[in-house]
Amino acid sequence: MSAPQYEVYAVKYAHHARRASENFIGGDPHDGPMPLDYFVWLIREAGTNAGREIVVDTGFSAAMAAKRKRDHLRCPTEGLKLLGVDAKAVKDVVITHLHYDHVGNFDLFPAATLHLQDLEMNYATGRHMTQPVFQGAFEVEDVVGMVRRVYAGRVRFHDGDAEIAPGVSVHLIGGHTMGLQVVRVSTRRGNVVLASDASHFYANMEQSRPFPIVYSVADMVEGYARLGELAGSADCIIPGHDPLVLERYPAPQATLKGIVARLD
Ligand SMILES: [Zn+2]
93 Rama sector, left if φ>0, alpha if ψ -120 to 50, beta otherwise:
beta
- Tell me the C-alpha distance between 187 and 168, whole Å: 10
Ligand 1 center to residue 241 CA distance, Å? 7
Q: Spell out which residues have Cβ within 5 A of ligand 1, the ion.
A: 101, 197
Distance 68 CA to ligand 1 centre (A): 13
Q: 218: burial class by Cβ within 10 Å (0-12, 13-18, 19+)? A: exposed
pTM equals 0.96
pLDDT in tens, 139-164: 999 999 999 999 999 999 999 999 99
The pLDDT confidence band at residue 232, using thresholds 50, 70 and 90, is: confident
The sign of the CA dihedral 72, 258, 175, 184 is positive
Question: In angstroms, what is the span from residue 203 Cα to ligand 1's centroid?
Answer: 15
CA geometry: angle 239, 106, 73, nearest 5 deg: 60
189-223 pLDDT tens trace: 999 999 999 999 999 999 999 999 999 999 999 99
